[in-house]
């Protein structure tokens, strides 16, 4: 455990204040033990994956449990069992070596498996819900349970884990055997698409808003309303993809929230849709 860590160093958008207790367990069992200690002490805590979907507070956060060291991976004939802190893109690289296909839609996804399952991350026509078979998790009442896929209530960027505030410890994914060169080709295609379209050189938390409906492209709408490059402090609507807000230096949570409200209001006045945020505001 580290005392007084700065959350800014653990979020992809490089925003976040100090954390009083930053806990980095090396096993799922010690994560559960850490939660028990924090609960017994009456301390408010949150779980952090790779921090790629979080807009953290500029103020101090009490306790954060990071899954970054929960990185066990076990391949089977039919897929993989992996711990929550495994980076999804790394898992894809390893699955390719085994000739296992199914996850490549998520190529380039910078988050952890736990974060991706709880958010039901999706891209390029796939989503995590399509692969998850079961998951072990810590429920808010401190029971460790194994949920089957039919209990996970996946929705657009949400799941039963997210709604309940459960911590995912381990996940089993079903994958299929495929020709390695065709999996690699699909991965390359998706990575190229990300490089071409997304502002990967600058700190961001990915897409800011959820699509209000299937064929509503939020980035194109924001661009059409003339907001590309619009700034509040150091928070800027990306000039490459208007669905992203990037940190041009020293942006604060407040800057980003003001910018979000400005964009929401403009889109609402134009379309009647009040946009919901995809990123998690801490």
Ligand X SMILES: Cc1cc2nc3c(=O)[nH]c(=O)nc-3n(C[C@H](O)[C@H](O)[C@H](O)COP(=O)(O)OP(=O)(O)OC[C@H]3O[C@@H](n4cnc5c(N)ncnc54)[C@H](O)[C@@H]3O)c2cc1C
- Active centre residues (catalytic): 157, 207, 278
Q: How far apart are CA 86 and CA 93, in angstroms?
A: 12
The residue from 116, 152, 263, 267 that contacts ligand X (CB under 6 A) is 116
Binding-residue pattern over the window 7 to 36 for ligand X, x denoting contact by CB under 6 A: -----x------------------------
Please state the closest distance from residue 98 (CB atom) to ligand X, in A. 22
Pair 86, 47: CB distance under 8 Å: no
Binding-residue pattern over the window 69 to 108 for ligand X, x denoting contact by CB under 6 A: ---------------x------------------------
DSSP 200: T
Please state the closest distance from residue 210 (CB atom) to ligand X, in A. 10
Q: Is 237 in the site for ligand X (CB under 6 A)?
A: no
Q: Where are the beta strands (DSSP E) in the chain?
A: 2-6, 18-23, 45-48, 54-55, 61-66, 73-76, 79-83, 100-101, 122-123, 126-127, 132-138, 144-148, 167-174, 176-177, 204-207, 231-232, 235-237, 244-247, 280-281
DSSP 19: E
User: Of the two residues 18 and 280, which places its CB atom closer to ligand X in the complex?
Assistant: 280
Please state the closest distance from residue 228 (CB atom) to ligand X, in A. 17
Q: Is 47 in the site for ligand X (CB under 6 A)?
A: yes
Q: How far apart are CA 46 and CA 234, in angstroms?
A: 26
Q: Which part of the chain contacts ligand X (CB under 6 A), choosing from 43-51, 93-101, 177-185, 234-242?
A: 43-51
Q: Is 54 in the site for ligand X (CB under 6 A)?
A: yes
By CB atoms closer than 10 A (0-12, 13-18, 19+), residue 205 is buried
Which residues of this chain interact with ligand X, rule CB under 6 A?
A: 12, 46-54, 67, 84, 109-112, 114-116, 118-119, 121-123, 161, 167-168, 198, 200, 204-206, 280
């Amino acid at each position: 455990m580290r005392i007084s860590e700065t959350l800014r160093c653990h979020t992809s958008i490089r925003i976040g204040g100090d954390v009083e207790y930053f806990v980095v367990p090396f096993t799922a069992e010690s994560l559960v033990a850490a939660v028990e200690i924090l609960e017994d002490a009456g301390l408010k805590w949150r779980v952090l994956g790779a921090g790629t979907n979080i807009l953290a507070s500029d103020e101090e956060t009490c306790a954060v449990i990071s899954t970054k060291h929960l990185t066990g991976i076990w391949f089977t004939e039919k897929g993989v069992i992996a711990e929550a802190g495994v980076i999804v893109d790394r898992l894809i690289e390893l699955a390719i070596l085994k000739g296992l296909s199914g996850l490549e839609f998520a190529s380039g996804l910078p988050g952890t498996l736990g974060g991706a399952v709880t958010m039901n991350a999706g891209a390029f026509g796939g989503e995590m819900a399509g692969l998850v078979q079961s998951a072990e998790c810590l429920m808010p009442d401190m029971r460790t349970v194994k949920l089957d896929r039919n209990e996970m209530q996946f929705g657009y960027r949400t799941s039963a884990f997210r709604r309940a505030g459960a911590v995912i410890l381990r996940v089993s994914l079903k994958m299929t055997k495929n020709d390695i060169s065709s999996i690699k080709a699909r991965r390359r295609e998706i990575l190229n698409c990300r490089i071409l379209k997304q502002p990967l050189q600058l700190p961001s938390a990915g897409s800011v808003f959820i699509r209000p409906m299937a064929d509503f492209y939020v980035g194109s709408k924001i661009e059409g309303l003339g907001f590309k490059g619009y700034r509040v402090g150091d928070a800027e609507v990306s000039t490459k993809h208007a669905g992203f807000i990037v940190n041009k230096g020293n942006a604060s949570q407040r800057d980003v929230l003001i910018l979000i409200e400005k964009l929401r209001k403009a889109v609402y006045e134009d379309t009647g849709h009040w946009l919901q945020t995809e990123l998690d505001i801490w």
